[in-house]
């Protein structure tokens, strides 16, 4: 089960988070989300636990607990929302008027 962990202290490492969750069972992958440009933690991450019962026990135990002067928000991760296709980048149709519809200004 993939678990969302929010309100992490910015200094929390993947290893710190792994140690907290290993108290409740087997942990697979741990990912603290970082800013692409600065590399600094965004204050949330994800933990994958191999057993759903252990994952639920960890959620129950850690949600609302204070770790590193921060009160954690822990719950089952929701699936990623689909991103709209198209758009992004340059010239993605800014929703303005077409060339023929432009007003002339003198």
Q: What is the 3-state secondary structure (H, E, C) of 50-101?
A: CCHHHHHHHHHHHCCCEECCEECEEEECCCCCCCCCCCCCCCCCCCCCCHHH
pLDDT at 92 over 80: no
Answer whether residue 28 is part of any domain: yes
Tens digits of residue pLDDT in 8-56: 999 999 999 999 999 999 999 999 999 999 999 999 999 999 999 999 9
Res 82: pLDDT: 85
Q: What is the pTM of this model?
A: 0.75
Res 4: pLDDT: 98
Residue 5 contacts residue 45 (beta carbons within 8 Å)? yes
Answer whether residue 20 is part of any domain: yes
Q: Provide the number of structural domains found in the chain.
A: 1
Domain that holds residue 21: 2-76
- Percentage of the chain modeled with pLDDT above 90: 71
């Amino acid at each position: 089960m993939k678990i969302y962990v929010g309100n992490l202290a910015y200094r929390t490492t993947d290893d710190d988070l792994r140690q907290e969750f290993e108290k409740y069972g087997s942990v697979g992958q741990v990912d603290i989300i970082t800013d692409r440009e600065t590399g600094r933690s965004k204050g949330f991450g994800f933990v994958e636990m191999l057993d759903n019962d252990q994952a639920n026990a960890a959620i129950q135990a850690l949600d609302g607990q204070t770790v590193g002067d921060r009160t954690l928000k822990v719950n089952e991760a929701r699936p990623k929302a689909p991103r709209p296709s198209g758009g992004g980048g340059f010239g993605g149709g800014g929703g303005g008027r077409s060339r023929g519809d432009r007003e002339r200004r003198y």
